[in-house]
Amino acid sequence: MQIQIAKQNAFDSDVDFLIVANFEDQNTSDFQTADTHLQGALLQKVTKLKFKSKAKDTLCIDTLGKIKAQSLLVLGLGKSDQYSDLVLRDVCAVAIREAYKQKANHVGFLLPSLPKNSTRELSAGVLLGLYQFNQFMSKDAENPRHEISQITFFENGFTIDQNLVNQGQIIADSVNVARELVNEPANVCTPTRLADLSKSFEAQPNVQVTVWGREKIVSEGMGGLIAVSQGATEEPKFIHIAYTPKNSRGRLVFVGKGLTFDSGGLSIKPAKGMEEMFIDMGGAAAVIAAMRAIVHLQLDIEVHGLVGACENMPDGNSYRPSDILKMYNGKTVEVLNTDAEGRLVLADVLHYGTKLNPDGMVDLATLTGACMVALGTNYCGLFSDQDAWADTVLKASKEAGEKAWRLPLDEELGSTIKSKRADITNLGGPWGGASTAALFLKHFKGNTTWCHLDIAGPTHVSKENGYICDGGTGFGVLTLIKLAETFSKA
């Protein structure tokens, strides 16, 4: 999508759908100009419908030839003193979705003067709002899918920085890559697909991508990843995307759970609900997509994106409840439930991460239903044994507008994963399932500064809300980019 910046007067430009933003507590001058052009009809309609310009509220009016654009959309920004980058991103997404529903072709945005850094959220919001998962929808020749052809931001007494618009585009495109990967079914989004996409990042400067297949994973001794994947025909992949810029201000490691399908294995899931388990690579999608953004932005920070990708399937060759696994770091694990597979895969990838000796490591995983029960689908759970690092990641998530809530890594729960036959088991007691999963991971992070995000809830949602779309959300990408940027600017 080509986004243009134009200096001309929006009211005689050739957009066919003009979006005019307005505050709840004071009408913007653009709103007033629009009303003058429409000879008072706008204010009349707003009053009649008691339209308050609350954030994300919209009101569409036919201009009946009084201005060039056929439709004018009043876009609520909410109260002026609560206006922020994140509000802007949400309202832009809502507005473009409304324009799409109205079959707009060339859409114009007329917004009040913004703080310079808000500009990124302009293009990000629009492109996040435009996202649709439609690659498997056949196109009907008689009734082709509608597409918005052009978007123009009007500079109205202030300058819109093209560079920041471009950055917003990189970020939104990357979130949309994660959304697409999550939405793709498991017969399409395989470990090989994740590896091939990662490999393509090598076209950018300072990137090297290493992919291990089954043979190498076995010879390296990643016992968790091997066990989980051994019931599947689909080949497992361990993926390492290394971004090593010349001027680096630190080193980060991001780890993603990449279960392209989780049937539960021999501890098979009930039929109802299993069909959702194609989203079990949401962590991997977030890591790969964040790496895409970081690489395109060429941030001044070394970042390693690591993914353990495989399928968890029942088969004559599957790993069994009761198996004892030797993990990549040498610890042994007694398998009590083959559906607690994510932690086994992550354990090996986390250990690989520790060997890179990072300043900080973050893993993202659709790890437990328990975390969803605790927090719902808006928040991810955050676990760390280092308060300063937990706070750094929480701050990044807050600035990125992705909700995270810290949950306890309660050492007293640690006894629930003790094993009589091996070092630990992969299954905790009946309560605190999100915490016991995190406590399991802690056995594999060594001395590394580490934080675990359980994103089972927000990875895939049923309802759109502002910039968040329904289906795969790309949750986590924005937090990881923000985290890398805080280092890059430090």
Report the amino acid identity of residue 271.
Answer: A
- List, as one string, the DSSP characters of 374-432: HHTTT-EEEE-S-HHHHHHHHHHHHHHT--EEE----GGGGGGGB-SSSSEES---SS-
How is residue 284 written in tokens?
């991997």
| Helix, strand, coil percentages in the chain from 3-state DSSP, rounded to 5 | 40, 20, 40
**How far, in Å, CA of 147 to CA of 91, rounded?**
20
111 binds ligand BES (CB under 6 A): no
Contact 351, 327 (CB under 8 A): yes
What distance separates the 2 farthest-apart alpha carbons in the chain? Answer: 82
Q: Name residues contacting ligand BES, limited to 14-43 (CB under 6 A).
A: none
Name the residue whose CB lies closest to ligand BES: 369
Distances 402 to 305, 316, 370, 378 between C-alpha atoms, Å = 20, 41, 20, 8
Q: Is 180 in the site for ligand BES (CB under 6 A)?
A: no
Is the CA virtual torsion 34, 39, 40, 42 positive or negative? negative
Q: Based on C-alpha coordinates, what's the Rg of the chain?
A: 24
Q: For residue 281, what is the DSSP state?
A: T
Stretch that binds ligand BES, among 13-21, 178-186, 322-330, 337-345 (CB under 6 A): 337-345
Catalytically annotated residue among 120, 214, 292, 343: 343
Among 184, 280, 311, 334, binds ligand BES (CB under 6 A): 280
Closest to Zn ion by CB, 358 vs 432, is: 432
Active site residue 489: no
User: Whose structure tokens read 């920004």?
Assistant: 77
* 349 interacts with ligand BES by CB under 6 A: no
Residue 227 binds to ligand BES (criterion: CB under 6 A): no
Chain centroid to Cα 13, Å, comes to 35
Q: Report if residue 471 touches ligand BES, rule: CB under 6 A.
A: no
Stretch that binds ligand BES, among 64-72, 80-88, 106-114, 333-341 (CB under 6 A): 333-341
- Which one, 263 or 449, has the nearer CB to Zn ion? 263
For ligand BES, the closer CB: 364 or 427: 427
Q: Which amino acid is at 377?
A: T
Known catalytic residue at 269: yes
Q: Per CB under 6 A, which of residues 362..401 are in contact with ligand BES?
A: 366-370, 372
Q: What angle do CA 178, 180, 182 make, to 5 degrees?
A: 70
Q: Is 411 exposed, middle or buried (0-12, 13-18, 19+ CB in 10 A)?
A: exposed
Tell me which of 269, 326, 331, 406 is the catalytic residue: 269
Partner whose binding site includes residue 70, from ligand BES, Zn ion, none (CB under 5 to 8 Å by kind): none
Piece in contact with ligand BES (CB under 6 A), picked from 16-24, 113-121, 207-215, 338-346: 338-346
- Where does this chain bind Zn ion (CB under 5 A)? 259, 262, 280, 339, 341-342
Q: Using the rule CB under 6 A, is 311 a contact of ligand BES?
A: no
Binding-site partner at residue 485 among ligand BES, Zn ion, none, CB < 5 to 8 Å by type: none
Question: Which of residues 294 and 365 has its CB atom nearest to Zn ion in the complex?
Answer: 365
Question: Which of 310, 418, 230 shows the shortest CA–CA distance to 427?
Answer: 418
Q: Does 174 participate in binding ligand BES (rule CB under 6 A)?
A: no
Closest approach of ligand BES to the CB of residue 462, in Å? 12
Is residue 256 part of the contact set for ligand BES (CB under 6 A)? Answer: no
Q: Which is nearer to ligand BES, 327 or 370 (CB)?
A: 370
Sign (positive or negative) of CA dihedral 187, 221, 306, 208: negative
Enzyme catalytic residues: 269, 343
Chain residues that interact with ligand BES, rule: CB under 6 A: 262, 280, 337, 339-342, 366-370, 372, 427, 433, 456
